[in-house]
């Protein structure tokens, strides 16, 4: 009876310990889902948020950098966006569990920012050279969590070692490259850049950790007595 009574406590304890390892993911998911629910109830709210926090090239050119704070959490359409929820629920906690909260936050936000700004800038340059349709795309306000989530997916792949890393990176970039070739919308370019940013951040961070671990192992091996 005591074992049965203690089982729910053990389960809750494990859930609590797991939650403490992914605080950034829980906060971000709560905000993103809260915005989806709120905009589903009020399309006018979604329109207002997009006007004030989504990002376009003119906004960046005018240094309206406050938009970058919320644009990765505000979806392009009101209501629950199932694909975005799935991407965030899978990849963000996985990344935070492996590499920690600070790196997860850096990958998510830098993956979004460093993919959005270059793509919008490239569209603005293309418009200067007369590329048809580039101007309206550069001026259209962009937001959404997909770039940050895919940056997290690539960061997870790059956090492994050896053949596993190679296979996972090939899967991520083959999927994004295939979608770019078949669909080729603006956000497909952004997703590919975001994945590159996430993989680069993760590779640099884990290389440092691997070097430290290797140095520690070598130091221990040198101090070990010979038999």
Q: Give me the residue spans of the domains in the chain.
A: 2-217
pLDDT at 4: 53
Angle formed by the axes of helices 101-128 and 82-99, nearest 10°: 130
Whether residue 158 contacts residue 165, with contact meaning beta carbons closer than 8 Å, is answered with yes
Q: Which pTM does this prediction carry? A: 0.85
- Structural element, H or E, at residue 35: helix 23-41
Neighbour count for residue 160 (Cβ, 10 Å): 16
Q: Tell me which residue of 110, 108, 92 sits closest to 25, measured CA to CA.
A: 92
pLDDT at 184: 87
Whether residue 190 contacts residue 115, with contact meaning beta carbons closer than 8 Å, is answered with yes
CA distance to 70, 92, 111, 164, per residue, from 100 (Å): 22, 10, 16, 20
pLDDT by residue for the chain (227 residues), tens only, comes to: 455 556 666 766 777 787 888 999 999 999 999 999 999 999 999 999 999 999 999 999 999 999 999 999 999 999 999 999 999 999 999 999 999 999 999 999 999 999 999 999 999 999 999 999 999 999 999 999 999 999 999 999 999 999 999 999 999 999 999 999 999 898 999 999 999 999 999 999 988 554 444 443 344 434 444 44
How many Å apart are CA 45 and CA 91, to the nearest integer?
28
Neighbour count for residue 30 (Cβ, 10 Å): 10
The tokens 């998911």 sit on which residue?
29
pLDDT at 5: 52
Which residues have C-beta within 8 Å of that of residue 147, sequence separation ≥ 6?
72, 111, 112, 115, 116, 187, 190, 191, 194
Angle among Cα 190, 195, 200 to the nearest 5 degrees reads 130
pLDDT at 40: 95
């Amino acid at each position: 009876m005591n074992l049965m009574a203690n089982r729910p406590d053990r389960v809750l304890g494990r859930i609590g310990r797991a939650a403490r390892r992914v605080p950034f993911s829980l906060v971000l998911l709560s905000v993103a889902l809260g915005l989806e629910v709120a905009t589903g109830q009020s399309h006018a709210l979604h329109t207002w948020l997009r006007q004030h926090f989504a990002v376009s090239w003119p906004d960046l050119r005018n240094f309206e950098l406050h938009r970058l704070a919320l644009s990765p959490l505000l979806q392009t359409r009101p209501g629950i966006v199932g694909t975005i929820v799935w991407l965030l629920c899978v990849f963000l906690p996985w990344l935070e569990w492996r590499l920690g909260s600070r790196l997860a936050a850096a990958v998510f936000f830098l993956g979004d920012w460093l993919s959005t700004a270059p793509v919008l800038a490239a569209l603005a340059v293309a418009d200067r050279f007369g590329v048809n349709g580039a101007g309206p795309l550069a001026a259209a306000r962009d937001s959404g969590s997909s770039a940050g989530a895919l940056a997290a997916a690539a960061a997870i792949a790059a956090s492994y070692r050896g053949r596993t890393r190679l296979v996972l990176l090939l899967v991520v970039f083959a999927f994004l490259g295939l979608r770019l070739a078949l669909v080729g919308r603006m956000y497909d370019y952004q997703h590919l850049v975001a994945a590159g940013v996430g993989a680069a951040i993760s590779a640099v961070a884990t290389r440092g950790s691997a070097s430290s671990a290797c140095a520690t192992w070598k130091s221990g091996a040198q101090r070990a007595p010979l038999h």
